[in-house]
Amino acid sequence: MNIRDIANLAGVGVSTVSRVINNKPDVNKETREKVLEVIKETKFVPNNNARNLKKNETNSIGVLVKGVFNPFFTEMIDVISKEISRSSYTMILQHHDYSKKSEIDNLISFIKDKKLQGLICLGGNFIDVNDELFEKVKIPVVLTSVNTTYDRRHINFSTVGIENDKASYISTSYLISIGHRNIAIIIGDVNDYGISGLRMKGYIEALRDNNIPYNKNYVSVGNYNSEGAYNATIELLKKFKEITAIFAISDVMAIGCAKAASDMGLEIGKDISIIGFDGMDVSKFYVPAITTTVQPKEEMAKVSINLLIKLINKEESHKHILLNTYLVKRQSCSKLKILNNKF
Amino acid sequence: MNIRDIANLAGVGVSTVSRVINNKPDVNKETREKVLEVIKETKFVPNNNARNLKKNETNSIGVLVKGVFNPFFTEMIDVISKEISRSSYTMILQHHDYSKKSEIDNLISFIKDKKLQGLICLGGNFIDVNDELFEKVKIPVVLTSVNTTYDRRHINFSTVGIENDKASYISTSYLISIGHRNIAIIIGDVNDYGISGLRMKGYIEALRDNNIPYNKNYVSVGNYNSEGAYNATIELLKKFKEITAIFAISDVMAIGCAKAASDMGLEIGKDISIIGFDGMDVSKFYVPAITTTVQPKEEMAKVSINLLIKLINKEESHKHILLNTYLVKRQSCSKLKILNNKF
């Protein structure tokens, strides 16, 4: 039962029903009574959000997803989609690839084309955005899982995420603490300044704080998928036999990395230590289970969509939320017994 | 550059631009020339689909996803979303859980609420639908990955899928051919009559054709996730020590199953054979790699969306497309050397 059904039953136009519901003038007494009677009979409850809609506004929330297929984001999309289905909004999903094109321009054209009421961006290179840029954006935007360099001084947009650099620092420090010094890193995408960039930063800082020289040859790109990480690992291990640990910045890449090591005759968690990121199910159910940083995916998705809906309804102002992560130590990492000759 | 921009530049209304583009009367010569000049200057190409839109129609395509989070569907959503982004359509995504509620009612209310132009259903219990039911549906619908019991006699809807029962028959027969007789099956959801039902059917038929009695105790439910399959496997293997092979009807469940077997001290591909379904990356990158039936996910997604767009544009009539699958034999299955005492 919606406003159109009421209009049909009352034999009037949708705008008349709308005027009655919102107590607007210019409806004659008889018509008004007729509409109210139908509303009463049908037990119709006017939708609050719909009532707040101005003419020509839709009730659509956009979700803009960055990068190639990433199961981490798709699990979040799943949660966001269910939350949106429960509300009176419609979810419009759009993907775009990594590119150097301005994220803000992307975002504004998406909002305009689809007449959005609010937008969540999953991932993306928002490293240099500021309040001025967001002044051009007329609707609430929540940047989720982009990066963590924003704070309450930024009042024109919201962010929900984790401390990527800190989490990555902890992962790398853990590998160092169990004796590894020749630690390779497999990042997602060279153009991914947000997530890959911040995780690289944490990795480099942990090395530096432990007086381990940063070796750029130990950095490889896995394109956020298992196949890419598999190929990157084969190449790394062939070229640099001294590598004893690999930090893949996503679990999907970590399994490609583990498979490659296994195919090269190395025993995972013994001959080579592997660490992932994200806390995907696959890290838990792999044999051996893979050490990883667990991100609160579901919470991140729920916090983002609930904040966005409150922003749309003007019940909340923009904020920057950091969620906690934790390192889960599993069998894929072990103490380095024989220190590498090089050191 | 869209029709609104042209209208602004020409200083006229959107409807006037539309009338000019579509060669409709009631536009004075001067205005018409002005609009055409702007179109020429801006090199604006009117969008064909937008031109075909009747008043009050949106250009939205709905994607209705059935069941809990399923990475198989999310990979397809990814492809569909990219194809839709390339077209002039907007993608509206909605999830719903398994329930006994009529799929057709679900579908009709989604179409009405969102004023869709076309719809793809991913999964769902469309086991008993017929042309009469689809007469109530006024827009083209493509049922993807639901089941395979429809043929060209059904002219009011389209289907794109695989022969689930046949593929499952082949998987089970393969396990039998390498000596297994006590084969358990882990299905997705008890209410999933489509996929789980058909894969069960193939499994039972393969047993029957090989004179192996069907044992309903060997059937368990894994809820299409790794955790569920892990728990189901632990229980199966504790209760029925004679089981030598497990067929999990999705790869996501197969890894939970493999992990459970490993945790119980069994060597996968030696003490126990495990077979999955779907051909997800994880089956390839697991250690050991998991035997599975590869479904052409990307092709299935592309064929579905391209067919739907053609149906919307009336360039095609409804059809039923079956795509090929193939069994990939990997290390998770091996020949049973010692025949079980029971047989």
Q: What confidence category does residue B340 fall into, taking pLDDT thresholds of 50, 70 and 90?
A: very low
Rounded to an integer, what distance in angstroms lies between the CA atom of residue B224 and that of residue B95? 15
Residues A170 and A289 in one domain: yes
Rounded to an integer, what distance in angstroms lies between the CA atom of residue B271 and that of residue B275? 14
Domain extent, residue B27, equals 3-54
The model's pLDDT over A253-272, given as tens digits with 9 standing for 90+, comes to 999 999 999 999 999 999 99
**A281/B82 touch (CB, cutoff 8 Å), yes or no:** no
A285 neighbourhood in chain B, CB within 8 Å: 226, 230, 255-256, 258-259
ipTM topping 0.90: no
The model's pLDDT over B33-79, given as tens digits with 9 standing for 90+, comes to 888 888 877 777 665 444 444 444 568 899 988 765 677 888 888 88
Residue B343 covered by a domain? no
Q: Which amino acid is at B239?
A: K
B252 neighbourhood in chain A, CB within 8 Å: 281
Q: What confidence category does residue A33 fall into, taking pLDDT thresholds of 50, 70 and 90?
A: confident
Burial of A300 (0-12, 13-18, 19+ CB in 10 A): buried
**A75, A262, A287 ranked by CB distance to B69: nearest:** A75
Residues B131 and B178 in one domain: no
Is pLDDT of A56 > 90? no
Among A2, A93, A112, pick the best mutation site for testing chain B contact (most B Cβ within 10 A).
A93
Residues A302 and A283 in one domain: no
B71 neighbourhood in chain A, CB within 8 Å: 71, 74
Please check whether residue B58 is in contact with residue B280, taking contact to mean a CB–CB distance below 8 angstroms: no
**What CATH number has the domain bearing residue B89?**
3.40.50.2300
Nearest CA-CA distance, residue A282 and chain B, Å = 8
Is pLDDT of B342 > 50? no
The model's pLDDT over A302-339, given as tens digits with 9 standing for 90+, comes to 999 999 999 999 999 999 999 999 999 999 999 987 64
Among B74, B75, B284, B285, pick the best mutation site for testing chain A contact (most A Cβ within 10 A).
B285
- H-run or E-run covering B143: strand B141-144
* A141 token code pair: 């935007």
The model's pLDDT over A89-127, given as tens digits with 9 standing for 90+, comes to 888 888 776 555 667 777 888 888 788 999 999 887 676
Q: A–B: how many Cβ contacts below 8 A?
A: 98
Residues B78 and B129 in one domain: yes
What's A54's DSSP letter? P
* B334 token code pair: 């091996």
Residues B126 and B214 in one domain: no
Phi, psi for B73 (deg, rounded to 5):
-70, -35
A135, B144, B251, B284, B285 from B279: Cα distances, Å? 46, 17, 7, 8, 11
Comparing CA positions, the residue from B291, B292, B301, B296 lying closest to residue B324 is B296
The model's pLDDT over B172-209, given as tens digits with 9 standing for 90+, comes to 999 999 999 999 999 988 777 677 888 999 999 999 99
What SS3 state is found at B72?
A: helix
Residue A99, pLDDT score? 56
| Of A45-59, A112-126, B101-115, B305-319, highest mean pLDDT | B305-319
- Considering only alpha carbons, which residue of chain B is nearest residue A230? B285
Residue A149, pLDDT score? 65
Q: Which amino acid is at B246?
A: I
Rounded to an integer, what distance in angstroms lies between the CA atom of residue A206 and that of residue A188? 19
A114 neighbourhood in chain B, CB within 8 Å: 90
Among A109, A285, A297, pick the best mutation site for testing chain B contact (most B Cβ within 10 A).
A285
The model's pLDDT over B85-142, given as tens digits with 9 standing for 90+, comes to 778 788 888 877 655 566 777 788 888 878 899 999 988 767 667 778 788 888 999 9
**A92, A268, A285 ranked by CB distance to B255: nearest:** A285
Comparing CA positions, the residue from A177, A171, A145, A176 lying closest to residue A158 is A145
More confident residue, B30 or B269: B269
**B227/A74 touch (CB, cutoff 8 Å), yes or no:** no
Nearest CA-CA distance, residue A75 and chain B, Å = 7
Rounded to an integer, what distance in angstroms lies between the CA atom of residue A300 and that of residue A53? 28
Residue with tokens 């179409």: B111
A226 neighbourhood in chain B, CB within 8 Å: 281-282, 284-285
Residue A147 covered by a domain? yes
Rounded to an integer, what distance in angstroms lies between the CA atom of residue B15 and that of residue B32? 12
Residues A152 and A173 in one domain: no
- B10-27 average pLDDT score: 79
Residues B175 and B280 in one domain: yes
Residue B81, pLDDT score? 85
More confident residue, A237 or A95: A237
What's B60's DSSP letter? E
Residue A50, pLDDT score? 45
When mean pLDDT is compared across A46-50, B14-18, B315-319, the lowest value belongs to: A46-50
Residues A141 and A214 in one domain: no
Omega before B288 within 30 of 0, i.e. cis: yes
Residues B27 and B91 in one domain: no
Residue A336 covered by a domain? no
Pairing label, strands B60-66, B320-323: unpaired
The model's pLDDT over A180-227, given as tens digits with 9 standing for 90+, comes to 999 999 998 877 767 788 899 999 999 999 999 999 999 999 988 999
**B281/A93 touch (CB, cutoff 8 Å), yes or no:** no
Please check whether residue B257 is in contact with residue B186, taking contact to mean a CB–CB distance below 8 angstroms: yes
Q: What confidence category does residue A86 fall into, taking pLDDT thresholds of 50, 70 and 90?
A: confident
Nearest CA-CA distance, residue B320 and chain A, Å = 27
**A93/B94 touch (CB, cutoff 8 Å), yes or no:** no
Residue B41, pLDDT score? 78
Residue B149, pLDDT score? 65
In degrees, rounded to 5, the angle at the alpha carbon of residue A138 between the alpha carbons of residues B13 and B4 is 20
**What CATH number has the domain bearing residue B43?**
1.10.260.40
B297 neighbourhood in chain A, CB within 8 Å: none
Please check whether residue A141 is in contact with residue A148, taking contact to mean a CB–CB distance below 8 angstroms: no
Residue A104 covered by a domain? yes
Comparing CA positions, the residue from B290, B217, B287, B216 lying closest to residue B253 is B290
Q: What confidence category does residue A46 fall into, taking pLDDT thresholds of 50, 70 and 90?
A: low
* A14 token code pair: 């949708």
Residue B290, pLDDT score? 98
Residues B178 and B242 in one domain: yes
Residue A332 covered by a domain? no
A91 neighbourhood in chain B, CB within 8 Å: 92-94
Rounded to an integer, what distance in angstroms lies between the CA atom of residue A17 and that of residue B196? 47
Residue A58, pLDDT score? 65
Q: How many domains does chain A have?
A: 3
Residue A77 covered by a domain? yes
pTM confidence score: 0.78
What SS3 state is found at A283?
A: helix
Residues A37 and A122 in one domain: no
A264 neighbourhood in chain B, CB within 8 Å: none
Residue B327 covered by a domain? no
Q: Which amino acid is at B136?
A: K
Residues B171 and B286 in one domain: yes
Residue A327 covered by a domain? no
Residue B55, pLDDT score? 41
